[in-house]
Amino acid sequence: MTEPDVLDLWEHSVREHADGPALVTPHRVLTYRDADRLTDAWAAFLAERGAGPGELVGLAFGDPARTVLGMLAALKAGAGFTVLDDRLPPAARTALVARTAAAVWLGDGAHAPEGAHVPHGPAEDADATEPARPVRRAGGSDVAYVLFTSGSTGRPKGTVIERDALRRFAAAVASRLELTPHDRWLQVASLGFDVLIEEVFPAFAAGAAVVCREDTRALDAEELHVALARTRITVVELSTQYWLEYARWLDGNGTAAPETLRTVVVGGERMDPVPYRRWQARQSAALAHVYGLTECTVSSTFYTGLLPSDAEEVPLGTALQDVEISIRQDGRPVPDGGTGEIHIGGPLLARGFLDDEEATAGRFVPDPYAARPDARVYRTGDLGRIGPDGQLVFLGRVDDQVKIRGHRLEPARVERALCEDGGVGQAVVFPDPETGTALWAFTVPADPATAPPPGEAVRLTGADRDALVAPLEAQLPDWAVPRVLYRVSVLPKNPHGKVDKRRLATWAAAAASPTPAAPAAPASAPAAPGSGGCGPEPLGTVLALFREVLDAPALGPDDNFFDHGGQSLLALRLLARLRESRPAASGLRASALFTAPTPRLLADALAARAVAHP
């Protein structure tokens, strides 16, 4: 008897919902029959070039729809796939391409490796003749995909997920979220991020539609709202901080999420109960709070209940089918209600890390308490407990690993990179205490003569800051680069001998407080003729919003947004606030801040837009 395969879920949807939408793009709707024929042709193309069981197909498209088609085609060829994130700097992309040793690459654009192929796209018709799918059927233990996460050594870890784990995961999520062929799931995750898997395969397992955007640019809250309504989305998954931005925008505009939206999946970081309750009181769309890791095939637990009024934490929920959750200390299960490290077991575990037996053995350990002799558990490094209601609750980290905008990061990787600069003797990196969405770095100079007095922190700006940031930008993704940097004479320690990050944050606050706020441009100055009100007054408005969003009351009109902790989520918030007061900001993308990163430059850009579009 042939063992079940992840493609069985797809083929069932093709048989039962052949004329239903499978993939929706801005230019075309592909039915399950259309997508099946097209990916059969792509699979044959891949097989001819060496793709098959045990091999990888690399995907480097900037188009999300082609990426989804490529994932399906690779599985049909019997191969696994890997997705190259287009936000990675060139050196990191080159290293990952070499490590994957893919049999064939599909892709286009500047980030695609040399020699990548571009088969028929979703806007083109496949040949009229019925394509023959490759007959090299893979087994459940063959690789389905490899995705990369941060590593503490500077070498990202490639997680190898097998086909049987992907099949079980897709079916379990479809069941838990009660997906139907009438659902439409909006694809918003960055390509190369494991949430992409959760956006695609459960929907296909249920015969639902995956709705893709035209490109991978981040949507701000207003754009997300418009996209959800226009495409009649029923399910979307957002990182915790992204969801908070959307909820804040809805509240600020006194509006509700689109009526078609029934479920918002939220995860990646700790959830504050206050906005969670506020959403549940004001919005009809249900929340599904999820927890999981790339090494355990994306999400492992789901919480979908109404949060009790006395809950101090939003639970992580209960385990998916085929997932085993246990709380252990020193490898031993703790009594009910006890605190310990969260361990995840069951058939959804990854095979391990690509070409890294030592790291695999350190995290994927034998389970002496399981009935199966070959059972393993994954040591998550997260602290938690299971409450009386059976819900898993997150309580922090065992180690120093952090989450930044939904991405896991080992700060040691960034600290090591900072210390490669000859002028830096020591460094510590951690998320900003206020929002947790950007990284702060504190450095101790190698030459004590250049250090500030003990107990003080000096904010690095201009050339000093650029000299440290530029090398990081060349090897790390944007979210992993510290945007606020300080110089200190020593890294203070707490009674446990660890770096006292709270004291460092206090030093940083003291460094900012004595400086008086730079004066805003006068609000009473007359507007330039034909400028739509964008004379000197907008500089005052823009400067005030920069200060508000960055929580930097001393910010001046020529200070750079990114030098003061700005990053993509804060850019989305700034643009949303600008649109509330400046008509000229309508349609302005967050990417505008890269060309106009100071209040003065952005005010000038708004004035120019007002003149061009009075």
Q: Count CA atoms closer than 13 A to 10's CA, side-chain side.
A: 27
Average the pLDDT over each of 132-146, 327-341, 531-545 and give the range with the smallest value: 531-545
pLDDT of 432 reads 83
CB-CB neighbours of 554 under 10 Å: 15
* Contact present, 79 and 46 (Cβ < 8 Å): yes
DSSP 522: P
Burial grade of 140 (CB within 10 A; 0-12, 13-18, 19 or more): middle
pLDDT of 385 reads 93
**327: β partners:** 342
pLDDT of 514 reads 45
pLDDT of 297 reads 97
**409: β partners:** 402
Pairing of strands 352-353, 376-386: unpaired
In the predicted structure, residue 578 carries a pLDDT above the cut 90: no
| Structure tokens belonging to residue 90 | 């060139």
Lookup result for tokens 């042709």: 41
pLDDT of 136 reads 60
DSSP letters for 70-115:
HHHHHHHTT-EEEE--TTS-HHHHHHHHHHH--SEEEE-STTSPTT
Q: Which residues of 439-463 are buried (b: 16+ CB within 10 A; e: fewer)?
A: bbbbbbbeeeeebeeeeebbbbeee
For range 291-302, the mean pLDDT: 96
| pLDDT tens readout for residues 446-505 | 888 888 888 889 999 888 888 999 898 888 888 888 988 999 988 887 665 567 888 898
Direct distance between the N- and C-terminal alpha carbons of the chain, in angstroms, rounded to an integer: 70
Instruction: pLDDT band for 517, please (50, 70, 90 cuts).
Output: very low
Rounded mean pLDDT of the chain?
86
Instruction: pLDDT band for 133, please (50, 70, 90 cuts).
Output: low
Q: What percent of the chain has pLDDT over 90?
A: 49
* Contact present, 599 and 542 (Cβ < 8 Å): yes
In the predicted structure, residue 317 carries a pLDDT above the cut 80: yes
pLDDT of 135 reads 61
Q: Count CA atoms closer than 13 A to 212's CA, side-chain side.
A: 27
Q: CA-to-CA distance for 599 and 543, rounded, in angstroms?
A: 5
Q: Count CA atoms closer than 13 A to 79's CA, side-chain side.
A: 31
Ramachandran region of residue 506, left (φ > 0), alpha (ψ -120 to 50) or beta?
A: alpha
* Contact present, 378 and 371 (Cβ < 8 Å): no
Pairing of strands 209-211, 407-409: unpaired
For range 326-338, the mean pLDDT: 91
In the predicted structure, residue 71 carries a pLDDT above the cut 70: yes
Handedness of CA 354, 357, 362, 363 (dihedral sign): positive
| pLDDT tens readout for residues 34-63 | 999 999 999 999 999 999 999 999 999 999
Angle between helix axes 568-581 and 537-550 (nearest 10 degrees) is 140
pLDDT of 408 reads 74
Average the pLDDT over each of 68-72, 116-120, 154-158, 542-546 and give the range with the smallest value: 154-158
Instruction: pLDDT band for 536, please (50, 70, 90 cuts).
Output: very low
pLDDT of 416 reads 80
Helix (H, G, I), strand (E, B) or coil at 201: helix
For range 293-316, the mean pLDDT: 93
Q: Please report, for residues 167, 206, 444, 486, the alpha-carbon distance to residue 347 in angstroms, rounded to integers and kept in the order given.
A: 10, 21, 46, 45
pLDDT of 564 reads 75
The set of residues, in sequence order, having a beta carbon less than 8 Å from that of 331 and lying 6+ positions away, is 365
pLDDT of 540 reads 84
Instruction: pLDDT band for 521, please (50, 70, 90 cuts).
Output: very low
Q: Choose between 344 and 545: higher pLDDT.
A: 344
For range 62-87, the mean pLDDT: 94
pLDDT of 319 reads 97
pLDDT of 515 reads 44
Instruction: pLDDT band for 533, please (50, 70, 90 cuts).
Output: very low
Burial grade of 608 (CB within 10 A; 0-12, 13-18, 19 or more): middle
Q: Please report, for residues 49, 65, 361, the alpha-carbon distance to residue 164 in angstroms, rounded to integers and kept in the order given.
A: 25, 24, 21
Count, residues in the chain: 614
- Sheet of strand 29-31, all strands in order from the earlier edge strand to the far edge: 29-31, 21-24, 209-211, 184-186, 235-239, 263-267, 286-292, 299-303, 318-319
| pLDDT tens readout for residues 199-223 | 999 999 999 999 999 988 888 888 9
- Fill in the amino acid letter for 432: D
Q: Choose between 136 and 329: higher pLDDT.
A: 329
pTM above 0.75, yes or no: yes
Strands (E), 304-406: 318-319, 324-329, 332-333, 340-345, 352-353, 364-366, 376-386, 392-397, 402-404
Q: Count CA atoms closer than 13 A to 291's CA, side-chain side.
A: 27
| pLDDT tens readout for residues 394-443 | 987 776 677 776 677 778 778 888 988 888 988 889 888 777 777 899 99
Q: What percent of the chain has pLDDT over 70?
A: 89
CB-CB neighbours of 386 under 10 Å: 23
pLDDT of 613 reads 62
Backbone angles phi, psi at 310, to 5 degrees: -100, 5
| Helix (DSSP H) and strand (DSSP E) numbers for the chain | 17, 27
- Compute the chain's Rg from CA coordinates: 25
Q: Please report, for residues 83, 120, 503, the alpha-carbon distance to residue 70 in angstroms, rounded to integers and kept in the order given.
A: 9, 11, 49
Q: CA-to-CA distance for 13 and 203, rounded, in angstroms?
A: 10
pLDDT of 496 reads 53
Q: Choose between 14 and 560: higher pLDDT.
A: 14
For range 253-277, the mean pLDDT: 92
Instruction: pLDDT band for 150, please (50, 70, 90 cuts).
Output: low
Burial grade of 562 (CB within 10 A; 0-12, 13-18, 19 or more): buried
* Contact present, 120 and 40 (Cβ < 8 Å): no
Q: Please report, for residues 54, 329, 343, 344, 396, the alpha-carbon distance to residue 384 in angstroms, rounded to integers and kept in the order given.
A: 36, 11, 10, 12, 7
